[in-house]
Chains A and B, each alone.
Chain A
Amino acid sequence: MNNLKKQDLKILCVCGVIFAIFQVLLYFEFIDPYWEANIILILINIILSVSLNLINGYTGQFSIGHAGFMAVGAYVGAIMTVKLELPFVVSLLAGTVSAGFLGFLIGIPTLRLNGDYLAIATLGLGEIIRICILNIEYVGGASGFMGIPRITNFPWAFWIAIFIIFFIKNFKNSSAGRACLAIRENEIAAETMGIDTTKYKILAFTIGAGFAGTAGCLFSHYYYIAHPASFTFMRSFDILTMVVLGGLGSMSGAITGAIVLTGISAVLADYPEWRMVIYSVTLIVLMLNRPQGIFGSKELSRKMFKFGKLGGKIHGGTAES
Chain B
Amino acid sequence: MAELLKVDNVSMIFGGLRAVSNFSMHIDQGELIGLIGPNGAGKTTAFNMLTGVYNPSEGEITFDGKRINGKKPYQVTAIGIARTFQNIRLFSELSVLDNVKIAFNMHVKYTLVEAELRIGRYYNEEKEITEKAIELLKIFKLDGLKDEEAKNLPYGEQRRLEIARALATGPKLLLLDEPAAGMNPQETHELMEMIRWIRKEFNLTILLIEHDMSLVMGVCERIYVLEYGCCIANGTPDQIKHNKRVIEAYLGEEVS
Contacts and interface: CB of A to CB of B under 8 A. Distances in A.
Interface stretch (A45-53, A141-149, A189-197): A189-197
Contact of B105 (A170, A189, A193, A297): A193
Determine chain B's interface SS by DSSP, over half rule. Answer: helix
A170 B126 CA distance: 12
Given A174-B112, A193-B165, A5 B74 contact: no
A8 B78 CA distance: 34
A1 interface: yes
A178 B78 CA distance: 18
Contacts of A191: 72-74, 77
Contacts of B169: 193-194
Contacts of A178: 98, 101-102, 105
Contacts of B101: 178
Nearest to B83: A192
A188 interface: yes
Contact of A192 (B82, B115, B116, B122): B82
B112 A176 contact: yes
A167 interface: yes
Interface string B174-192: 0000000000000000000
A182 B92 CA distance: 9
A175 B89 contact: no
Interface of B: 51, 53, 72-74, 77-78, 82-83, 85, 89-94, 98, 101-106, 108, 110, 112, 115-118, 122-123, 126-127, 129, 165, 168-169
Contacts of B168: 193
A193 B83 CA distance: 9
Given A175-B110, A192-B82, A194-B74, A186 B91 contact: yes
A181 B116 contact: no
B80 to A, nearest CB: 10
B145 to A, nearest CB: 17
A194 to B, nearest CB: 4
A194 B115 contact: no
A317 to B, nearest CB: 19
A184 to B, nearest CB: 8
Given A178-B105, A181-B98, A194-B106, A171 B115 contact: yes
A174 B126 CA distance: 8
Main secondary structure of the interface of A (DSSP, over half): helix
Contacts of A173: 115, 126
B98 A186 contact: no
A43 interface: no
Contacts of A195: 74, 102, 105-106
A171 B116 contact: yes
A188 B72 CA distance: 11
A218 to B, nearest CB: 21
Contact of A8 (B77, B82, B104, B118): B118
15 contacts: A170-B118, A173-B115, A174-B112, A174-B115, A175-B110, A176-B115, A182-B105, A186-B92, A191-B74, A192-B51, A192-B73, A193-B106, A196-B72, A196-B74, A203-B112
A85 interface: no
Contacts of A192: 51, 53, 73-74, 77, 82-83
A129 B44 CA distance: 45
Contacts of A186: 89-92
A171 B116 CA distance: 6
A179 interface: yes
A4 B85 CA distance: 35
A189 B89 contact: yes
Given A191-B74, A193-B165, A195-B74, A175 B105 contact: yes
A167 B118 contact: no
